[in-house]
Amino acid sequence: MQEISRRTVLVGAATAAVTLTVPAPTAHAMPTENTRNEESAPGSCETMGSTEACVEVRQIQDVCGIQYTIKNHGDAPRTYSVSCLDVDGGPNPGTVTVSVEAGESVSDYFYGDLLHCFTLQVCPVSAGKEMTGPRTSGKEADVTCMTLGPVCAESSSDW
């Protein structure tokens, strides 16, 4: 039986260490460009007077990201109360107050459980008072709230 030299053992050990520390190429690389389509990110939009509000959901790692966007097409700043409700009985993501300058838009997220559906209620806030009730048609002063959704978060096999 032939003996293995010390040099051969060290070269073999070094090769094995390098092989173990270099990461293998990723088989499922994420695209660098946003390739959103309506099936992968369901959404809902409503318009009320000079306000346009949209909501869409997508999986963000192990939670559902509920993104809302409020656009103020009017000529004065507006403040809104935005509430998110889990219609499947999970914990409600919450309520926030959002100010939007004239001609601007604001986007932000709520987070909820995967495989759940959510509704979003957007209500104008006037003189420190939150307006509530169902949406009515007519002049902006007569309008109370918009209800968006339900939008549902689907689990993705990409994770």
Domains in the chain, number: 1
Show the domain range for 94: 43-152
- Residue 55 belongs to a domain: yes
Predicted model pTM:
0.63
Mean pLDDT of the chain: 74
Tens digits of residue pLDDT in 6-19: 656 555 655 544 44
What's the pLDDT at 26? 31
Q: Does residue 57 carry a pLDDT above 60?
A: yes
Quick one: pLDDT at residue 7?
58
Q: How far from chain centre, in Å, is Cα 65?
A: 3
What CATH number is attached to the domain comprising 92?
2.60.40.1230
> Is the pLDDT score of 62 beyond 60?
yes
